[in-house]
Amino acid sequence: MTPKEEFIAIFTENIKREGARELLAWLETTDFFTAPASTKFHCACEGGLVQHSLSVYHTLMERYFEEGTDNPESFAIAALLHDLCKANFYKVSTRNVKNEETGSWEKVPYYAVEDQFPYGHGEKSVYLIERFLRLKPSEAMAIRWHMGGFDDAVRGGSFALSLAFEKYPLAVKMHLADLESTYLREHHTSAVTRR
Mean pLDDT score across all residues of the chain: 92
Q: What angle do CA 169, 171, 175 make, to 5 degrees?
A: 120
Mean pLDDT, range 10-28, rounded to an integer? 98
Per-residue pLDDT tens digits for 85-108: 999 988 888 888 888 899 899 888
Q: 164 burial class (0-12, 13-18, 19+ CB within 10 angstroms)?
A: buried
| Contact residues for 30 (Cβ-Cβ < 8 A; gap 6+) | 87, 88
Over range 8-22, report the average pLDDT. 98
* For residues 43-69, average pLDDT: 94
Say which residue, 59 or 107, is predicted with more confidence: 59
- More confident call, 191 vs 92: 92
Give the C-alpha separation, 177 to 61, whole Å. 9
pLDDT for the residue numbered 192: 58
Q: According to DSSP H, which parts of 65-151 are helical?
A: 72-81, 122-130, 137-144
Average of pLDDT values for 52-70? 95
Range 60-82 average pLDDT: 96
Distance in angstroms (rounded) separating the CA atoms of residues 56 and 177: 6
**pLDDT tens digits for range 113-146:** 888 889 989 999 999 999 999 999 999 999 999 9
Q: What integer pLDDT is reported at residue 4 of this predicted model?
A: 97
Sign of CA dihedral 32, 34, 35, 38: positive
Neighbours of 194 (CB within 10 A): 8
Name residues whose C-beta falls within 8 Å of residue 154's C-beta, 6 or more positions apart in sequence.
Answer: 147, 148, 161
- Phi and psi based region of residue 27 (left: phi greater than 0; alpha: psi -120 to 50; beta: remaining): alpha
Task: Specify the range with the lowest mean pLDDT, choosing from 79-88, 141-150, 183-192.
Answer: 183-192
Going by their DSSP bridges, the two strands 105-113 and 90-98 should be labelled as antiparallel
Query: Strand, coil or helix: what is 135?
Result: coil
